[in-house]
Structure 1
Amino acid sequence: MASFFGAPPATAPPVTVPAAKAVAASSVPPCPGSHPSTPLCLQPAITITENTSEVFAIKFNPDGKFLAACCGDGAIRVFNSETGRMAYNLQRGSAVALPSTAVKFRPDVESVKTKNVLVSADALGNVEHWHMTSGKCLHSFKEEDNQIFALDFRPDATQFATAGKDTAIRIYDEQTKQQVVKMERGLGFGPSAAPGHSNRVFAVKFHPNDPNVLISGGWDNTIQVWDCRAGKAQRSIFGPHLCGEAIDLQGDIILTGSHRADDPLELWDFGSGEKISTVKIFDDGRSEPSQLYSAQFAKASLSGYDEKPRLIACGSSGVNEARVYDMENGNCCVGVVGGMTRAVFATDWSPKANKLAVAGGDASIRFVNVVEKGNVEGEADENVTQN
């Protein structure tokens, strides 16, 4: 993740809707294995430009109507994803504050009475529960001598996990907010060392089908597979170098996005730990490579066509853009969200629709929709290019 202490960009104007411009001709090479019945493209929606500092983390709420954003000046804001207007200002930014670095909404499950709750974390080790609609901080605690970069909830909302600078994975009981287990690297050195992280951790993810399993990744070029009941890592997958929320699970397929020039976007088999494939990142001959900070599977299927989500999004530095890929179409590039002057730190898919949010160092948040070609409505945007 970029330095937390860089000078923030100048104050930007309020929310803007893209002006009517001709869509620039895409320089993305033609994709192989085209799916003739459902060719897809990106439809630009809105751009939020009222943040005064870089955006390090974004997350849709469970129904996709709102998007929470964590900023470099410590601000935590919630925006309406349809209008772009700020709906709730949970924490105001400050020139002397350290960044808010991670955010997750608590899953809306039947056993949870209070809805609209999100958890945020920051570079001082603070973890805070917020009630979105009232703006109240419901609970807070601090992990001493730690900077937290990653959060995730169990699918049943009974526990949540944190990770960061001190390399440990901590799991907390959601009801009591007490630590249940702290998972760390085992004893030993070199190849004989027990699995676990040896450097900063930037991503944690509970397995969607087995809540007792969690995966994590960071600077040490490994993905760790943890057994939360045993309180230790069971095995490691070597290779991915993560610098942001660039890990995801769809069934037993792991997606990773590495902050490196060569083969940054990869798919892995959860069971064997073997690499399935590399998703080709086309850099179009430009001098700056795509070094990824974020990678995520879509959460919703394309209605009427697919039994499961088929899209991948990633965000990068270097070329400072986000790209969308279609797994059912030869992993081809659907389109590019560009025009950013600084790195893309965060991407998030809406849980209910193929809407993607993109944010990063230029303090903006951009929304695009994935639609069938021929069904694009509204105005064009020269910063959103199609394959």
Structure 2
Amino acid sequence: MATAQQRVSKPTTTGTGVSQIQTITPNKPELTVLGKIEQSGDILSAHYSADGNDIFAGSINGEVFHFESRSLKKLNQVEDEEMKNKHSPITSVVPVKINNENKLFTSHVSGWVKIWDAGGNTCLSTVKEKNQILGVIPHTRKEKFLTLGEDAKMRLYDMKTGQLAMTFENSYTKDKMTGHDSKIFAAKFHPKNINEFISGGWDDTVQFWDMRKGQSIRYFAGAHICGEGLDLDIHGELVLTCAYQPSNTCRLWNYATAQPYLVLGAETAKLYCGKYLGPKFVVTGSSDPGNVRIINLFNMATVVVHKTGAVGVYCVDAHQRGGDKKENVVNTRLLLAAGETLSEIDFKFLHQ
């Protein structure tokens, strides 16, 4: 059972116009660990399938495994001959449903992106770059995918043909910044504007992009992103940053203006990852200590802190289930990649 930190936070505005947090006592959540499994190397990425029944996880030793949700029973190892011959660290695993077909995208430090038949453990195609790939982001509505590069560039490919469609990069003009100038670790497509996306990485900026243009259209500075620490709310109005830095680690920003909106909590640990849990909550994963924190966005509460005991939580995913609307119950399964441990947790919360 996780430990609860009895904190609720209300925003107050500082002289800079950015909200800070004060603390009071919250409602009591229910957190139940459904299962844990140990791997032979650090797990860098783990995600649920679209229906929440399957889990895919990739590790630093180049292995990708397929698990059954809730039991964490290992169903099979996802690999082909290239992976058997070259154990390249897995930087992301992303299961998606495209045209009623379950696909799995994996990205590898070696410069590969592989697309798999998620059910049949068959590699359908491989794209190869002469560059470390730090993540892959599928765009299911346009049947494209985006690669995140160690070379500060992102590349858009056609899913069917594997052909390069666009490269997104900084023009390095003197008058303004139009892209990244360091490693890129996270990106997110806009939920409504089909041609727009955001990205973040080591240069401490979040860049805003239109897929029809090679340079960014605006940006903000102040978020050092080292993992899956970037998200958008369901309306595409607010950007969530979970940053690996000593202060202002978890923040919301206005999407339209790229201006600060809110600092979420007085988090002191640096963050690897985080995401929205529907419209009402945010979950974050931190380093040293490796904790998972859930924040209520309606009253700015830190609802609960789950201590994993690991040095860092590298990835957090969630599968939302229906709760009792009359009783206002949140019912969600969480998937945590913390060091070499993959954990699944049931989160229930009665909120008012």
TM-score between the two structures when normalised by the length of structure 1: 0.79
Contact 2:203/2:224, CA 8 A, preserved across alignment: yes
Contact 1:107/1:157, CA 8 A, preserved across alignment: no
- Which residue pairs with 1:210 in the alignment? 193
Once structures 1 and 2 are overlaid, which stretch shifts more, 214-223 or 171-180?
171-180
Say which of 295, 298, 301 aligns to 1:332.
Answer: 301
Contact 2:3/2:307, CA 8 A, preserved across alignment: no
State the Cα distance separating 1:42 from its structure 2 match: 3.7
- 1:41 matched to 2:29: yes
Q: Distance in 1 between matches of 2:272 and 2:346?
A: 21
- 1:81 matched to 2:69: yes
Say which of 259, 266, 279 aligns to 2:264.
Answer: 279
Q: Distance in 2 between matches of 1:152 and 1:90?
A: 19
Say which of 191, 194, 211 aligns to 1:228.
Answer: 211
- Which residue pairs with 2:89 in the alignment? 99
Q: Distance in 2 between matches of 1:86 and 1:244?
A: 25
Question: For residues 73 and 25 of structure 1, do their structure 2 counterparts lie closer, same or farther at Cα, with a shift above 3 Å needed?
Answer: closer
Say which of 274, 293, 296 aligns to 2:272.
Answer: 293
- 1:355 matched to 2:333: yes
State the Cα distance separating 1:322 from its structure 2 match: 1.1
State the Cα distance separating 1:24 from its structure 2 match: 7.0
- Which residue pairs with 2:78 in the alignment? 90
User: Which runs of no fewer than 5 residues in structure 1 stay unpaired?
Assistant: 1-22, 283-288, 300-308, 375-387
State the Cα distance separating 1:47 from its structure 2 match: 2.8
Question: For residues 61 and 80 of structure 1, do their structure 2 counterparts lie closer, same or farther at Cα, with a shift above 3 Å needed?
Answer: same
Amino acid at match of 1:203: A
User: Which runs of no fewer than 5 residues in structure 2 stay unpaired?
Assistant: 11-25, 322-330
Contact 2:2/2:32, CA 8 A, preserved across alignment: no
State the Cα distance separating 1:338 from its structure 2 match: 1.1
Q: How many residues align?
A: 324
- Which residue pairs with 2:243 in the alignment? 258
State the Cα distance separating 1:54 from its structure 2 match: 0.5
Say which of 125, 144, 167 aligns to 1:159.
Answer: 144
String of CA shifts for 1:205-231, please: whole Å, max 9, x gaps: 110111200100000010000110122
Identity of aligned residues (%): 25
Contact 2:9/2:302, CA 8 A, preserved across alignment: no
Amino acid at match of 1:99: P
Note the aligned Cα RMSD (angstroms). 2.3
State the Cα distance separating 1:155 from its structure 2 match: 4.3
Counterparts of 1:8-47 in structure 2 under 5 Å?
23=1, 26=4, 28-32=5-9, 39=27, 41-47=29-35
- 1:122 matched to 2:108: yes
Amino acid at match of 2:273: S
Contact 2:113/2:136, CA 8 A, preserved across alignment: no
Q: Distance in 2 between matches of 1:24 and 1:364?
A: 16
State the Cα distance separating 1:262 from its structure 2 match: 0.7
State the Cα distance separating 1:341 from its structure 2 match: 2.5
State the Cα distance separating 1:356 from its structure 2 match: 1.1
Amino acid at match of 2:332: N
Amino acid at match of 1:293: Y
Amino acid at match of 2:112: N
SS of residue in 2 equivalent to 1:49: strand
- Which residue pairs with 2:49 in the alignment? 61
State the Cα distance separating 1:116 from its structure 2 match: 1.6
Contact 1:151/1:160, CA 8 A, preserved across alignment: yes
Q: Which runs of 4+ in 1 moved over 6 A?
A: 92-96
Contact 1:257/1:265, CA 8 A, preserved across alignment: yes
SS of residue in 2 equivalent to 1:262: coil
String of CA shifts for 1:329-368, please: whole Å, max 9, x gaps: x22112122132321110011154621111122x111112
Contact 2:56/2:65, CA 8 A, preserved across alignment: yes
Contact 1:247/1:295, CA 8 A, preserved across alignment: yes
State the Cα distance separating 1:166 from its structure 2 match: 0.7
Question: For residues 314 and 94 of structure 1, do their structure 2 counterparts lie closer, same or farther at Cα, with a shift above 3 Å needed?
Answer: farther
SS of residue in 2 equivalent to 1:224: strand
Question: For residues 149 and 346 of structure 1, do their structure 2 counterparts lie closer, same or farther at Cα, with a shift above 3 Å needed?
Answer: same
Amino acid at match of 1:101: T
Contact 1:168/1:197, CA 8 A, preserved across alignment: yes
Amino acid at match of 1:31: V
Contact 1:75/1:94, CA 8 A, preserved across alignment: no
Question: For residues 118 and 231 of structure 1, do their structure 2 counterparts lie closer, same or farther at Cα, with a shift above 3 Å needed?
Answer: same
